[in-house]
Every structure is written in structure tokens, then in C-alpha cells.
Amino acid sequence: FHQGKSFGSKMINDCLVPFIRRNGGGILALITNTNLNRSFYKKNGFDEFSAFPLKRFGREIGNWSFKRTIY
């Protein structure tokens, strides 16, 4: 419904990042299990620091960790 309309990018860059900066900065870290989200976070300045598959209900799914340092 909202994908492709930049709502997520605006939320991160116009709300979350300024809030973290105002409060002294830090590292924003997250985990995702979809390639679509993986591309989204890379596009929004996050660095991938871990990737390994997880087994769930006998099926392997991707698992990626990202972080973005905010000064």
C-alpha cells in the first residue's frame, strides 16, 4: 500500500535520525529477513554487518543485520 512512496525513507531521515541526533547520536541497528527490506535499508545509509540464514519450520530464510551511525 505504501511501498515506493518514500514514506519509510522520510520516516527514517526526517524523524528518526534527527531525534537520535538531538539526543546525542548513536547507532541505529536492525534486523530483517527480506531482500526487499535489505535493499531499502542499504538505500537509506545502513551498513550490513551480519548475514546468515535461519531455519524456521524446516525452511531456510535470510537474516541480515544492519547499522547506521548517527552523529
Which pLDDT value is given to residue 23? 98
Domain count, the chain: 1
Query: Looking at the domain assignment, is residue 30 inside a domain?
Result: yes
- Domain span holding position 18: 7-70
Segment among 17-21, 46-50, 57-61 with least mean pLDDT: 57-61
pLDDT at 26 over 60: yes
Give helix then strand counts, H and E, for the chain: 3, 5
Query: Looking at the domain assignment, is residue 49 inside a domain?
Result: yes
Which pLDDT value is given to residue 6? 84
pTM, full prediction: 0.83
